[in-house]
Copies of this chain bind each other. A is one copy, B any other.
Amino acid sequence: MKTHTLLMPLDMHLHLRDGIMLENIAPLSAYSFSGALVMPNLVPPVTTKQNIIAYKKRILASVANDYFEVYMTLFYQNYSKEFLEDVEDEILAVKLYPAGITTNSKEGVKSFDIEAMRPTLEAMSELNIPLCVHGESHGFVMDRETEFMSIYEQLAENFPNLKIIMEHITTKEAVQMLERYENLYATITLHHLLLTLDDVVGGKMQPHLFCKPIAKRPQDREALLQVALNAHPKVMFGSDSAPHPQHEKESSGCAAGIFTAPIAIQMLCELFDKFDALENLQDFISDNAQRIYGICPEFKEVRLSNTPFTIPKIYNTVVPMYANETIGWSIDDIS
């Protein structure tokens, strides 16, 4: 039997939703992860200090029995420096969505007018608040991320002291950007390390593998795997785990989002083991994020072994990725 231990695993891109869904799913992340960066795309989005504090309180209440560090994000809009100074202790980052690009993003940025954004982004640079970006254009679905590269370039060049995190990257073009600008970082999901568009619509259509940005070509997945498996120092794990009730997924007009939170650590172990890269998983799933964000989560140790684990068919109302399939690694215990 092979075993592996991870310390303080972090999920640097997580959707916890609100209300009953929050109560159902937050404990699943809190069980195995040490902490998570929580996305602000509620309805309405999280744009005030009061809302940040209240949302964090609801999250903590839902995970009362587990130690879990909740890192909050503010939904990007143009904000004054005074406002950012007032909220900076409550947040770890600001999350930017192009308007209408994904679930609950209609209050996002309508046009990337750098000058209009300059006061906010300069204030963030001065206050050392990272900017997390959902980087997609409104173009053809397979081109959206690559079309957004010019905006990453503008942001990186205009705000050299701003830490910019390209969230849930899916293309080789985004991977290449990591080398071009010192201040660009990235999160990568579990599912984009595993899937291509073939898995989504190449055989039968798989609503539980449908997400935004959509999974791309084999060459793109290969580029993502290279930097993840080698624990590129600018790359962090962010699950983008995004739950929807089963009836919203298996319907005409299926919502975007793949639910991986409760299985991500086990599947990452399996994946890294398969490529003989288990020793790099600690950097990918925790140490890089600690260094990039300057965070020190409390001690948590997750011990895994290559014992088969059958993924549940459903967690409450939410069908996970690879439901009912058996994977090779499982969590033995956590302390």
Contacts and interface: CB of A to CB of B under 8 A. Distances in A.
A196 interface: yes
Nearest to A254: B205
27 contacts: A140-B196, A140-B197, A140-B202, A140-B217, A141-B197, A141-B198, A141-B201, A141-B202, A142-B197, A142-B217, A201-B201, A201-B210, A204-B253, A204-B255, A204-B256, A205-B205, A205-B253, A205-B254, A205-B256, A206-B254, A207-B207, A208-B252, A249-B252, A250-B250, A250-B252, A252-B319, A252-B323
A131 interface: no
B218 A201 contact: no
Nearest to A208: B252
Q: How large is the interface on A (under 10, 10 to 19, 20 to 34, 35 or more residues)?
A: 20 to 34
B210 A205 contact: yes
Given A200-B201, A201-B210, A218 B140 contact: yes
A214 interface: yes
Given A200-B201, A201-B200, A214-B201, A207 B252 contact: yes
Q: What 10 pairs across the A-B complex have the smallest Cβ distances?
A: A205-B254, A141-B202, A204-B253, A205-B210, A250-B251, A141-B198, A250-B252, A141-B197, A208-B252, A201-B214
A214 B214 CA distance: 15
A254 B141 contact: no
Interface in A171-214: 196-198, 200-202, 204-208, 210, 214
Among A205, A207, A217: residue with most chain B CB under 10 A: A205
Contact of A254 (B197, B204, B217, B319): B204
A101 to B, nearest CB: 10
